[in-house]
A and B are shown apart, each in its own frame.
Chain A
Amino acid sequence: MENNLGFEIHHNGKHICRAGVEDKLFVVSCIANSVSRKLGDKPTDLSMQIGGLISESFENIVWSDFDLKLGDTIDVEVIDDKFSPYTVTDVWLPPEPEALTKEEIAHKRIELQKLKEELAEHLDEDGELRI
């Protein structure tokens, strides 16, 4: 199996981290955001988040999270080794499936029927969505 790929990140020339994981199943993400919101406590957001998920342990992980400003530069190189340690921010465990009541199942059935009618032109004769 080939090495896992990650990202080495520099912010304005300063080394931030080598984001990547050795684990078998994972997601590593580098996300730059520029946001102007209508509502909320933080109407504008200009930031960079470097994090991910260890799929098998359901751990959310982070390497760095920082604000950006006009003129800032971010340089990213795809790498496959010498990953920096990360911080686990939380663990998301999938909920145990709960038994649905008859009423809840009936409600879902009604919702499905309603969607089926609304999506009629997109469904084939077996009720499958056409691609």
Chain B
Amino acid sequence: MKMENYGFELTINGENCGRAGFESKHYVLSIIMLSMRVNHTGEDEASTYLTVGGVNSDKGARAEWLTREGLTKGDKVSLKVIEGPFDASKPLQFSKEEMQLQHKKSMYRQLKAELEELGDI
């Protein structure tokens, strides 16, 4: 049976930015566009963000095709649902071990902050 792997072809302001998709059997592929205004430092900060990436669930490996910040008014992003062949993702990929390490670091920061707030360390 033909395996149905769907990806996305992305164009930004008329420039073709590639064909993102996984050849693996199990995967999560997302194109995420964000616009936000946050205030973590006492001052409002507005930002926009576009990322194309996901996870090869069979290998437990993250993949990323594109990340772009600073979209501005009038920018145009188009995507099309496609089948393979897909472009290779960026060479930088996090292994399962690297993801576990990042998770441990995150847990460490959180626990340390909690205990410091409690005055326990």
Given known contacts A76-B77, A122-B105, A34 and B71 CB-to-CB distance under 8 angstroms: no
| Residues on the A chain within 8 Å of B115, using CB | 105, 108-109, 112
Do the beta carbons of A112 and B25 come within 8 Å of each other? no
A79 touches B108 (CB 8 A): no
Chain A 16-38, CB-CB to B under 8 Å as 1, else 0, gives: 00001000111111111111111
Which residues of B (25-45) have their CB < 8 Å from a CB of A? 25-39, 44
Provide the residues of chain B in CB contact with A46, threshold 8 Å: 6, 81
- Known interface pairs A38-B26, A78-B75; A4-B35 also in contact (CB < 8 Å): yes
Task: State whether A4 touches B37 (Cβ < 8 A).
Answer: yes
Interface size on A, residues (CB 8 A): 51
Chief secondary structure at chain A's binding surface: mixed
Shortest C-beta distance, A28 to chain B (Å), equals 5
Known contacts A26-B37, A38-B26: A129-B108 contact under CB 8 Å: yes
Tell me which residues across on chain B come within 8 A of A1, comparing CB atoms.
Answer: 44
Which one of A28, A36, A105, A109 contacts B34 once the chains associate, using CB atoms below 8 Å? A28
**Residues in A neighbouring B101, C-beta threshold 8 A:** 122
Contact between A7 and B28, CB atoms less than 8 A apart: no
Q: Select from chain B the residue with minimum beta-carbon distance to A71.
A: B81
Residue in B27, B39, B81, B105 whose beta carbon sits within 8 Å of that of A70 in the complex: B81
Does chain B have a CB within 8 A of A57?
A: no
Cβ < 8 Å to A, chain B residues 12-64: 21-22, 25-39, 44, 46, 48, 57
Chain B residues numbered 93-121 whose CB sits less than 8 Å from any CB in chain A: 101, 104-105, 107-109, 111-112, 114-115, 118, 120-121
22 contacts between A and B (CB under 8 A): A4-B35, A4-B46, A5-B46, A5-B71, A25-B37, A32-B30, A34-B27, A34-B29, A35-B29, A46-B6, A70-B82, A74-B80, A77-B75, A78-B35, A78-B48, A80-B73, A100-B118, A108-B115, A111-B107, A112-B115, A115-B104, A122-B101
**Chain B residues proximal to chain A, CB less than 8 Å:** 4-8, 21-22, 25-39, 44, 46, 48, 57, 71-83, 101, 104-105, 107-109, 111-112, 114-115, 118, 120-121
